Amino acid sequence: MSAVMRSVLVGRRAGEQGYVAAELALGIGLLLFPVAMLVITLPTWSERQAAGRAIAREAARTVAVGGYCDHAAAGAVGAAMAANLGFDATDLAVDLDCGDGARLTRGSEVTARVTVEMPATRIPGVVSVGAWDWTAVHTEPVDRYRSL
């Protein structure tokens, strides 16, 4: 049997070489790696959103129960909760809307805005690339029937 007949039966021409190794490396580098980075980063976004909502809720509640518009107390609650939830307190900012140091009246409202930095891509323990801010807002009413 001639070499031409053998190559036709096998399905390739004589002298052809495959590039499977190069295609595999390109496939992993261009397709699999970006998808894996997105899959690794998605839980971080959800975790930061839930943390922002919880911190906004607790900061507003702490100030409403305290009776004074205390920005320092709200910031302390935010820093403590961020540390407990496992991320840096510099990645969030707590802002209150209730006046400055004013005594809160019955039926008034305290609004806490917590802005959390969301990493665009994050490989845990290695690197965080890019970010944007996400804000959670919670309004807590001051109890109408509380004692003065």
Look at residue 60 and tell me if it is in a domain: yes
If one counts every other C-beta atom within 10 angstroms of the C-beta of residue 96, the result is: 19
If one counts the domains in the chain, the total is 1
By residue range, what is the domain housing residue 63? Answer: 18-141
Look at residue 8 and tell me if it is in a domain: no
Summarised one tens digit per residue, pLDDT across range 71-85 is: 999 999 999 999 998
Contact yes or no for 115/92 (Cβ under 8 A): yes
Amino acid (one-letter) located at 24: L
pLDDT at 24: 79
pLDDT at 58: 95
Query: How far apart, in whole angstroms, are the C-alpha atoms of residue 74 and residue 62?
Result: 7
Look at residue 147 and tell me if it is in a domain: no
**pTM, entire model:** 0.72
Mean pLDDT per 10-residue interval, the chain, length 148 residues: 52 61 78 79 86 95 91 93 88 87 85 91 72 93 80
